[in-house]
Amino acid sequence: MNTDCCPELKLFEGFYDAIESDRLYQRLFEEQDWPDNHYSVAGRQLTLPRLQTWHADTGIVYSYSDNLLQTRDWSPLLSSIKTQIESYLNYRFNSVLVNLYRSGEDYVGWHSDNEPELGEQPYIASLTLGAARRFALRHKKTSEINDLVLANGDLLVMEPNFQHHWQHSVPLDNSVTGGRINLTFRNVIPAKNNIQRNKRRQD
Ligand SMILES: O=C(O)CCC(=O)C(=O)O
Ligand SMILES: [Mn+2]
């Protein structure tokens, strides 16, 4: 898949092969205690268009949307995926956001992963398991649109400047019937963590 638009994106297709990716998808799908995706902001009832869990090292807190994301421990499975990605990239992560797109009707809207907790230079590794989905990119200044397809087992690395220049989304796609789990491994900076309350995107 073509990442020519964005030198700050590195795509490792088939980081896990199809058999291993299917196995990981199934195990995560079953073992994750997926929370309710309804939450309220300023008294308004909202629905997150996907399911989500957040896991982090002790002391790392990432708060938004009335505690929609409770910090959970690392399961042995999540830890082992983290370790494999860390050794491959030679980079350490202290947290992961796990998104379950139950079908093509689940999505994530336009945003950058540029929350203050991630610091000025966020380095994020994103693993796709399950159904292939379009990963759309929109340049912040020119509004140029590009896209990639992220397929089962693909690992996408978003190097720091990517978040400065581009927004991304996984658009709704009614032609997709299968589920997809995406794990974005991140490094939250503890010092800033409790000072800045984070107002993250809600869709
Ligand atoms: O599902 C994906 O590929 C992207 C998820 C994402 O952008 C996020 O959780 O911040
Ligand atoms: Mn993101």
Q: Separation of 163 CA from ligand 2 center, angstroms?
A: 9
How many other CB atoms are found less than 10 A from the CB of residue 15?
A: 18
Q: Whose CA is nearest to atom 2 of ligand 1?
A: 182
> How far is ligand 2, taken at its centre, from the CA of residue 126, in Å?
9
Where does residue 75 rank: exposed (0-12), middle (13-18), buried (19+ CB within 10 A)?
A: middle
Q: Which ligand has the minimum distance to the alpha carbon of residue 182?
A: 1
Cα three-residue angle 28-33-38, rounded to 5 degrees: 120
CATH fold for the domain made of 9-193: Jelly Rolls (2.60.120)
CA of 97 to the centre of ligand 1 (A): 8
DSSP 16: S
CB-CB neighbours of 6 under 10 Å: 20
Main-chain phi, psi angles of 109, to 5 degrees: -75, 180
pLDDT tens, per residue, the chain with 203 residues: 578 888 999 999 999 999 999 999 999 999 999 998 988 778 888 899 999 999 999 888 775 544 467 889 999 999 999 999 999 999 999 999 999 999 999 999 999 998 888 888 899 999 999 999 999 999 999 999 999 999 999 999 999 899 999 999 999 999 999 999 999 999 998 855 454 444 455 56
Q: Would the CB of 180 count as within 6 Å of ligand 1?
A: no
Residue type, 97: L
Q: Give the residue whose CA is nearest to atom 8 of ligand 1.
A: 184
C-alpha distances out from residue 92 to 8, 76, 87, 185, Å: 18, 17, 8, 9
User: Could you tell me if the CB of 150 is within 6 A of ligand 1?
Assistant: yes
Measured CA to CA in angstroms, residue 60 lies from 123, 138, 200 at distances of 17, 30, 16
